[in-house]
Structure 1
Amino acid sequence: MSQPSPLITTEQLAAILGDPNLRVYDCTTYNEPVPPGSEVPYRAVPGDKTFAAGHIPGADFLDLQGEFSDASSEQFFMMPDVAQLEAAFGRHGLDAGKTIVLYSIGSMMWSTRFWWMLRSLGVDARVLDGGFDKWKEEGRPVETGAPKGYPVTTFKATPRAGFFVDKTAVMSRIGDPATVIVNALGPQFHQGLEPSRYGRPGRVPGSVNVPAATLTNADKTLTTLADAEAKFAAAGVTRDKSVILYCGGGISATIDLLLLTQLGYDRLTLYDASMGEWARDPALPIETD
C-alpha cells in the first residue's frame, strides 16, 4: 500500500473540511529576538495568540516548545522521549487512523517539524502546502477564538529508528564519503560571513548548503520537485549516500527533509540540536570560507 503524500493543497483540505475523520493542527511558533549577549539565541513564543486571531475552522493548536520538546535540554525544540509525546499527542486527540493535517503561519517549517516528529513515531501526517498564509490569502473560511480541541485519545507510537542523531554521530560522519551533511541555513551563515546568533560563525566541516529558504515560493508553498532535485544534486546530495540535515535548531531543515522524502530519498536523518549546540561547543570543529 503506497504512503499518502506528505503534502495537501488548500483546495484538497477545503474539500474535506468538516469531515469527522479529519484532524487539523496549527503548529506555529515564533522565534523572538533577545538582547545581544544572551545565553539563548532567541525566545520561543507559541503562536496561540495568532491562532485565536484566526485559524482553519475546527483546528487545534500544538505548542512545540511547551508540550512537545524536552524541557530539560539547554536547546530549544529538542525531541523528547516517546512517553511525553504519546501523552501530549493523546491530549490533543491525535489518532493515526484519522487524516492528520499540520499547518503553520509565516513558514511551513513549524508544520514540517511536527511532520518529521510524527514520522519518527510511525505516523504519516500531511502538511498544508503554503500554510495558513495561503489559506487566508485565498479567502477560505477562518475561525477565531481559543481551540476547542478534539476528543482525547490513547496515542501509542511505533517508533522508527534513525530519524534523529546527536553531535557524536555527526562528528563520526565528517569526511565519510558515504555521507553528505547538509546545512539548511542561509549561505551567509553557512560561509560564516555574518555573526551567528547561535555562537561561532560557520558550519559543520565538510557540509554542503541547500538553504530551506531557497526551497519555498513567494506564496509560502514548496518549490517543485524538479527544482528541489536540481538544487540538491548541485550540492552533491545523491541517493547513494546517507544524508544528515541540520540548521539552527532542527526546524527549517525539516523543509529539506520533506522534499527529499518526496523525491524518494530514504537514508535521511536530522541533527536535532544543530548549530544551537555545535556553534557553542568549542570542542567541536567549525569551518568558514
Structure 2
Amino acid sequence: ANIADVEAAMKAHEPMLVDSRPPEQFQGKTKTAAVVRAGTIPGAVNLPAQEIMLPNGQGMIPEDQVKQRIAAAGIQPGAAAIVFCNNSYLASSDWFALRAVAGHEKVLLYSGSMAEWTRHPDLPVVNGR
C-alpha cells in the first residue's frame, strides 16, 4: 500500500488500518527516531507484533492464540486490512499473521509506515486507544 491508499482507508474506514507497533507507540507515549510525531493514524487498531511472536523471536505463538489476538484487536474475520508500523519491519509479522494464519485475503503492507506518514505535517496523527 502507499500513502494514498492509507489516506483513502482512513477516510472510508476500510480497509482496516492495523498498527503493529507496541502499545506505547500506538498510544503516542513513545516513538522511535524514524518517526517525526508520536501517535498513530486515525482509525487504526493495535495488533502489536511482539504479542503474536514467540519471546525469542523465532516464530509465532500457536495459531489459535494468534487468531484470539487478532479478534481481541477488533479485526473481524476476513476483513481487508492495511498493516503498518514504524518502517514496515514489525508490520510484516502482522501481514503474515492475518494473511497466512488467519486467512484474510486482502491484506496490504504500507511500507512507508509511520516514518513516511509523520513526515507530512498535513497528515493527521492521534493517540491510539
TM-score (norm 1): 0.41
Within a 5 Å distance, the mapping from 1:1-289 to structure 2 comes to 165-197=1-33, 198-220=35-57, 221-261=59-99, 262-289=101-128
| CA pair 192-272 structure 1, distance change in 2 beyond 3 A | same
- The answer on whether the counterparts of 1:183 and 1:253 sit within 8 Å (CA) in structure 2 is yes
Letter of the aligned partner of 1:192 in structure 2? G
TM-superposed CA distance for 1:239, in Å, is 2.9
TM-superposed CA distance for 1:252, in Å, is 1.2
* Structure holding more strand per residue: 1
CA root-mean-square deviation: 1.5
Deviations, residues 227-276 of structure 1 (Å, cap 9, x unaligned):
11111111111234211000111111111111112221111001110011
- The answer on whether the counterparts of 2:36 and 2:118 sit within 8 Å (CA) in structure 1 is yes
| Aligned counterpart, 1:145 | none
Q: Distance in 2 between matches of 1:233 and 1:226?
A: 11
| CA pair 175-226 structure 1, distance change in 2 beyond 3 A | farther
Letter of the aligned partner of 1:227 in structure 2? Q
Q: Secondary structure of 1:203's match?
A: coil
- The answer on whether the counterparts of 2:78 and 2:105 sit within 8 Å (CA) in structure 1 is no
TM-superposed CA distance for 1:188, in Å, is 0.4
The structure with the larger Rg is 1
Q: Distance in 1 between matches of 2:89 and 2:109?
A: 9
Q: Distance in 2 between matches of 1:201 and 1:177?
A: 21
TM-score (norm 2): 0.89
Q: Secondary structure of 2:17's match?
A: strand
Q: Distance in 2 between matches of 1:203 and 1:245?
A: 12
Q: Secondary structure of 2:38's match?
A: coil
TM-superposed CA distance for 1:195, in Å, is 3.9
Unaligned runs of 5+ in 1: 1-164
Q: Secondary structure of 2:5's match?
A: helix
* Higher RCO, Cα 8 Å, sep 6+: 2
- The answer on whether the counterparts of 2:13 and 2:43 sit within 8 Å (CA) in structure 1 is no
Q: Percent identity?
A: 26
Letter of the aligned partner of 2:110 in structure 1? Y
Q: Secondary structure of 1:227's match?
A: helix
- The answer on whether the counterparts of 1:178 and 1:240 sit within 8 Å (CA) in structure 2 is no
Letter of the aligned partner of 1:230 in structure 2? Q
TM-superposed CA distance for 1:187, in Å, is 0.5
- The answer on whether the counterparts of 1:182 and 1:243 sit within 8 Å (CA) in structure 2 is yes
